[in-house]
Structure 1
Amino acid sequence: MSQQLADRIRACRLCADRFAATATGHAPNPVVWFAAGARILIISQAPGLRVHQSNTPFWDRSGARLRDWMGIDEAAFYDRARVAILPSAFCFPGYDAAGIDLPPPPVCARTWHPAALAQIGQVPLRLLVGGHAHRRYLPGRLGVTETVRGWRDHAPGTFALPHPSWRNTGWLKRNPWFETEVLPALRARVAQVLTE
């Protein structure tokens, strides 16, 4: 990773006033986790509170589920030479008054994604995790279920996945095809890409 780009992202305070006004009243803490030449690019939603506190992406139950979906362990997942993680917002957006995660501020991706994607370069496998990533990088898609179900129709080397949050356990139960059809193909492709 270009240290200059990483430092610029970590120093970003574009959303300071927005975050101070949330129920959590927190300061920005951009979590940056990518390097040039990675084999897999995960474009996700935004860090949660645990990630905000640990400075490590997917350092929560969602991360454990995502690693299981991919069929890899923590060592492979957190190896920046193998896996780049580019959230739709680098900072935890905070909670609203009801304790619900706020959406990632669009200004973050508009500001930082072009430079980050240029730095990461071409990758053989891209995972779009959650509706925010789907809408940004698969325009014209109508919803998460339809987008994930159409996994064979996406560009080669692209998988659209639901968010691995435990809040989506009901979605997984209602859509058993995800586990029987999508996950075996995903794990096979991940294994292939990481051994090429």
Structure 2
Amino acid sequence: MSTQRLFANDSPLPTTPLRRSSASRVDALLSEIQACRVCEAHLPLGPRPIVRISPSARILMVGQAPGLKVHESGIPWNDASGKRLREWLGVEESVFYDPRRFAIVPMSLCYPGRGHSGDLPPRPECAPLWHERILSSLPHIRLTILIGQYALAKYLGERRQTTLTETVAAWKSYAPQFITLPHPSPRNQNWLKQNPWFDREIVPMLRKHVADALA
């Protein structure tokens, strides 16, 4: 798979003008999110919501939950999973972390802690509490990328296929509104080896949709 970037540091920014009131509402919402303590009793390292949004964002990425490294750094997808995800998308870090282009909203905004075989699932309280309000502050989203089973379950509901693999393969049923992806975690390396069609078919399609959404 080629790792050529479609968008690099000199890519033009979206030029849609924003009214100051929109930015102010987003700032107020972010302040509320950072002050949230709803799940505090269930978070072993305490609350640290990780979310990046701007009213001019073109692409919404809905992932699972921050991992330990992301919790410590405060930077979403700042780990091996994020590196692979950016390769799939075909974008540089400077584009990926520009909230005017990408809104990054996990199913659980805080690190949920560690279980017996990896990180715990996203806290069930989080998405119902915040996602609708976050999405209402993002009027210019052209593409939503759903990453992993929890995002697929919430945003596709009964439209999901029986398995994650079948859902990813059925991308034409959801595009151009949604693109469905497996989690890019190194833990999913076996899945990628068992499904070579993903690199061959899905990644080029994903890059085209990303390019179109950012154009």
**TM-score, normalization by structure 1:** 0.93
| Number of the residue aligned with 2:39 | 15
| Number of the residue aligned with 1:188 | 208
Residue 99 of structure 1: how far off its partner (Å): 5.5
For 1:69-84, what aligned pairs fall within 5 Å after superposition? 69-84=88-103
> What are the Cα deviations for residues 46-80 of structure 1, in whole angstroms up to 9, with x where unaligned?
00001101111000000000000000010000000
| SS of residue matched to 2:191 | helix
2:67–2:111 Cα contact (<8 Å) kept: yes
Structure 2 stretches lacking a partner, 5+ long: 1-22
| SS of residue matched to 1:139 | helix
Residue-pair matches, total: 189
The letter of the residue matching 2:118 is I
Residue 85 of structure 1: how far off its partner (Å): 0.6
Residue 192 of structure 1: how far off its partner (Å): 2.2
Shift in CA distance, 99/150, structure 1 to aligned 2, threshold 3 Å: closer
Separation of aligned partners in 2, 1:17 and 1:88:
18
> What are the Cα deviations for residues 75-113 of structure 1, in whole angstroms up to 9, with x where unaligned?
0000000000111010000002x2521000121000000
Pairwise CA RMSD of aligned residues? 1.1
**TM-score, normalization by structure 2:** 0.85
| Number of the residue aligned with 1:45 | 64
Separation of aligned partners in 2, 1:111 and 1:172:
33
Separation of aligned partners in 1, 2:130 and 2:181:
22
2:89–2:206 Cα contact (<8 Å) kept: yes
1:10–1:32 Cα contact (<8 Å) kept: no
| Number of the residue aligned with 1:87 | 106
Residue 3 of structure 1: how far off its partner (Å): 1.1
- Structure 1 residue 57 corresponds to structure 2 residue 81: no
